[in-house]
Amino acid sequence: MRILFIHQNFPAQFRHIAQLLKRSGDQVLALCDSRNTRPEIVPVRRYRFNDANVGKPSPLAASFSQHVVRARHAADEMLKLREQGFVPDLVFGHVGWGETLAVRDVWPSARLAVHAEFYYSADGANIGFDPEFHSTLSFNERFAARLNNAPILLAMTDADAAVAPTQWQKMRYPSHLQSKIQVLHEGIDTDMVAPDPAATFVLPNGRSLGPQDEVITFVNRNLEPYRGYHIFMRSLPAILEERKNAQVVIVGGDGASYGPKPRDGRSWKNIFLEEVQDSLPLDRVHFVGSIPYDRFVALMQISSAHLYLTYPFVLSWSMLEAMSAGALVIASKTAPVEEVIVDGENGLLVNFFDSERLAELTIEALAAPSQFRSLREAARRTIVDRYDLKRRCLPEWAEFVRQFDPARRGKPAKDGVGRVLGVESGFAVVARDSHDVAISNPR
């Protein structure tokens, strides 16, 4: 097969499947935004996206207009590929940015699959979840939440099949679309992310931490309310007052990945640090920004307690990676987390908003680590059994892609004008969003 991955931030979640297909002898290409500076693991084509081309639509329509403009820029490159004789067996794109909206116009006969990552609603998920920031939603806010689904619904209507990483994400979609969606997680490399009693993590001040130290960890792409940063920070004074030797390592940037930025121009990081800093021993609280993946893994391997909080939203890889490394995860009792963690069996759960209880559980975990060893071991087993990259998830991804191979269907592919080019000229177009580990070389 000829395989073209389309994603503005390629390789994103498709690093492993792209490399596997390339090793298997498939011709693998990628199409991404020209501003993407990530390493090229396969040959890359780039489209130029200029926000200025969006114009000035109604604020409620701005997001959809941006999706349409991006779709048109992506279509320019797809048309060039069609002119060069490329014919897709499968177009596989992410629903999030509109990059697949023109696929049916470029290659009408291609099979189309999409990554159905998230379906928006003003009720029951992220929007309006946190009363500190949204006590009540205006009509326009509720309306805008539904309008976010316009390009998603177009993509899902066109799609022959779809994938979602978790059952909860699948069930967010309208019932008439759920039958199209197969639950496929991207997977965790449990060979790489495994317990290591010899692991160390060097702090910016030069101190080296190991499993023998009391280390509290918190990891996000960006430190923001969507991932419970404010609740986490409010738990720290009580924890560090009780645990005099504990060190806190916080990974994440100063921006906002999912929710809005603060209106006053400051960062969420500084807003909530300033709220509690007078009650903190700041020499034991270490903000390390974004870090390379190998350092992130080492940090999870030495973690005494990994705290993970999230709105009902897309589940972070970092929580699963912490479990794979054998960390004790103390997490929010929110729907995506509960799909993985059973309280008291393979982790500990706490009400998202209860910073006091979060502090209590963390103190208990640090005071008697041996009592929680079985939870660490069970956490590791959960990831190996359900999310192992090489032995479970990646083979499932490969099978999902291969089901669209014309050789299996017993008929050749056709290009956008119906010309039969034969099985050997088929390729797939694949895309997927990336989220939520603040590492400098994310997969």
pLDDT digits 0-9 by tens, 238-255? 999 999 999 999 999 998
What are 85-109's pLDDT values in tens digits? 988 888 888 998 899 999 999 999 8
DSSP 263-294: TTS--HHHHHHHHHGGGS-GGGEEEEESB-HH
Dist. CA 92–CA 28, nearest whole Å? 13
Q: Which band of pLDDT confidence, cut at 50, 70 and 90, is reported for residue 200? A: very high
Torsion angle of C-alpha atoms 384, 385, 391, 394, degrees rounded to 10: -90
Phi first, then psi: give them for residue 177, nearest 5 degrees. Answer: -100, -15
**Residue 347, helix vs strand vs coil:** strand
Q: Is the pLDDT of residue 416 over 80?
A: no
Dist. CA 363–CA 380, nearest whole Å? 22
- Position 101: which residue type? L
Dist. CA 308–CA 239, nearest whole Å? 15
What are 417-443's pLDDT values in tens digits? 333 223 233 334 443 333 344 443 333
Contacts of 274 (CB under 8 A, 6+ apart): none
Residue burial 10-26, b: 16+ Cβ < 10 Å; e: rest: bbbbbbbbbebbbeeeb
Q: Is the pLDDT of residue 12 over 90?
A: no
Q: Which band of pLDDT confidence, cut at 50, 70 and 90, is reported for residue 52? A: low
pTM comes to 0.84
Task: Report yes or no: 201 and 299 within 8 Å, Cβ to Cβ.
Answer: yes
Q: Is the pLDDT of residue 197 over 60?
A: yes
Q: Which of the given ranges, 14-18, 109-113, 193-197, has the highest pLDDT on average?
A: 193-197
* Segment (H or E) for 329: strand 329-332
Query: Chain centroid to CA 294: how far?
Result: 18
Tokens of 88: 């897709």
What is the pLDDT averaged over residues 361-369?
97
- pLDDT for 61: 81
- Position 370: which residue type? S
Dist. CA 18–CA 14, nearest whole Å? 6
Dist. CA 104–CA 159, nearest whole Å? 10
Closest CA to 155 of 196, 109, 201, 119: 119
What are 58-75's pLDDT values in tens digits? 788 888 889 999 999 999
Percentage of the chain beyond pLDDT 70 is 90
- pLDDT for 54: 59
- Which residue do the tokens 């509720």 mark? 142
Dist. CA 340–CA 234, nearest whole Å? 25
Dist. CA 441–CA 72, nearest whole Å? 29
Tokens of 220: 């996000």
Q: Is the pLDDT of residue 15 over 90?
A: no
Contacts of 164 (CB under 8 A, 6+ apart): 115, 116, 117, 170, 173, 181, 182, 183, 184
Dist. CA 76–CA 19, nearest whole Å? 26
- pLDDT for 414: 42
What is the pLDDT averaged over residues 98-126?
90
Structural domains of the chain in order of their starting residue, each with its CATH number: 2-187+388-430 (3.40.50.2000), 201-387 (3.40.50.2000)
Tokens of 320: 């699963």
- Dihedral (CA of 201, 207, 212, 217) sign: negative
What are 144-186's pLDDT values in tens digits? 888 899 999 999 999 999 999 999 999 999 999 999 999 999 9
